[in-house]
Amino acid sequence: MPSIPGIYCRRLCSVVATALLLTSPNAGLTAQGSQDAIAIDSSALQRLGEQFVANNRAGGLSVAIVRDDTVRYFNFAGGPSACAQSPNQNTVYEIGSITKVFSSLLLANAVAEGRVELQDDIRKYLTEEYPNLQRDGTPVRLVHLVETTSGLPDNIPDLTSLVQTEGPNRAPRAIVERWQRYGARQLLTDLHHVTLDHTPGVTSRHSNVAATLVGFILEKVFAQPYEKLIQTYIEEPFGMNSGTGSGRGRAAVAGCNAAGVVMPAIDSRYIRSAGGLRYSSADMARFARAQLASTSAALRLSQQATGESAGTGLGFNWRMSPGRDGALVLRASGGTFGSSSYIEVRPDAGYALVLLTNQAGVESMLYDLAVQIRRAVR
């Protein structure tokens, strides 16, 4: 049975899928640059998209395939469902934990500008004493926050009791309401009571708290709100639309859990730097193209591994590993209560892939789909 997905209540509860969507493909194709630059077995990709939407009860699926300066878009509609969509490359989805890659790139910009150093103890940027933010003589450093090795808990406030009392269909709304009432002041108070799970820098573990602290520290270092930093350092230079704000909220598709229940959107400033951004496949394709170009020191830094876990490189919230040809592959995935997302960047091959769907809990299936799409691209 799939679990309620994403960055917020992963592994906390399980749900049962009750219906299988019939699919009607809306395989749209748009390109920037020469379409000949990306040779695709279109019939194979069409089949893969249709199968994904059908097998995973997805309301919609948007695909962006990038090769150097060229992008091709494919979109697949699902139905009937409360979350059925006929998406295109401008349809906006929540990207979940891929937000952490954006926040990490902001930190890389702060390093490139000499505002911070990766090895800084995070307590340098906190106004109170936190003797608990170290273990075995090793403090939590900025690098640990974006390397997923901080030892910090996944969520503050803890969400376990809400999931247990409210159940999988009602808990997300209760959690969103709690986040709306929570903020930096409460976080800094509750941070005094944290016990690190392990020595920082040793074990990789998902933590929204770590990414939330990245956002908090960046706002302090730059003396600007997180939303402005995203706009200045990422969206405007890369030609992306805003990933926040009410306008993007109105353009975003509704998302469903595995049972087909419409889920609330994530729109809390508190969780924004951990998983609160939302973009279209066109936006994400522009982000991927910037990753391939790597024209800035910050981008190049953000693609460097700073740690390792089970043979996989860790750094700036990317999972980094060599492909069959030994070349670098950057991967990240995300999920919210009603969405799943995946991005893969292969700088040496000039290739990137973005997958967005308004179905929760299918991150691993998106990875499988990415592998199959790679085979269809020649």
Q: For residue range 18-75, what is the model confidence (pLDDT) as tens digits?
A: 222 223 333 444 444 444 567 888 899 999 999 999 998 899 999 999 999 899 999 9
Q: Flag whether pLDDT at 3 surpasses 60.
A: no
Q: What is the pLDDT of residue 80?
A: 72
**Average pLDDT in the chain:** 89
Q: Which of 64-68, 199-203, 251-255, 335-339 has the lowest mean pLDDT?
A: 251-255
Q: Say what the pLDDT of residue 248 is.
A: 72
Q: 282-307 burial by CB neighbour count: b if 16+ within 10 A, else e?
A: bbbbbbbbbbbeeebebbebbbebbb
245 pLDDT higher than 90: no
Note whether 100 and 108 are within 8 A (CB). no
From the number of C-beta atoms within 10 Å of its C-beta (0-12, 13-18, 19+), residue 310 rates as exposed
Question: pTM, whole model, 2 decimals?
Answer: 0.91
The pLDDT of residue 78 is 85
Amino acid at 142: L
φ and ψ at 4, to 5 degrees? -60, 125
Q: Which amino acid is at 288?
A: A
Q: What is the mean pLDDT of residues 337-360?
A: 97
Tally Cβ neighbours within 10 Å of residue 280.
27
| pLDDT tens profile 99-140 | 999 999 999 999 999 999 999 999 999 999 999 999 999 999
* Span between the terminal Cα atoms of the chain, in Å: 36
240: pLDDT strictly greater than 70: yes
Q: At what angle do helices 208-222 and 99-112 cross, to 10 degrees?
A: 40
Q: Give the pairing type, strands 92-94 and 60-67.
A: unpaired
When mean pLDDT is compared across 27-36, 128-137, 207-216, 307-316, the lowest value belongs to: 27-36
Q: Do residues 172 and 263 make contact, with C-beta atoms less than 8 angstroms apart?
A: yes
Where would I find the beta strands (DSSP E) of the chain? 22-24, 31-32, 60-67, 70-79, 92-94, 134-135, 138-139, 255-256, 262-263, 278-280, 307-309, 312-315, 318-322, 328-336, 339-346, 351-357
pLDDT at 99: 98
- Cα→Cα distances 223→140, 226, 321, 324, Å: 22, 9, 35, 44
Q: How far apart are CA 231 and CA 110, in angstroms?
A: 15
Distance of alpha carbon 143 from alpha carbon 146, whole angstroms: 6
β-bridge mates for residue 359, sequence order: 256
Q: Which residues contact 249 (CB under 8 A, 6 or more apart)?
A: 265, 267, 278
Enumerate the β-bridge partners of residue 341: 334, 356
In 118-192, alpha helices (H): 142-147, 160-166, 171-181, 184-190
**What span, in angstroms and rounded, lies between the C-alpha atoms of 168 and 15?**
6
To the nearest whole percent, how much of the chain has pLDDT over 70?
90
| Residue 374 pLDDT greater than 70, yes or no | yes
Residue 304 has a pLDDT of: 96
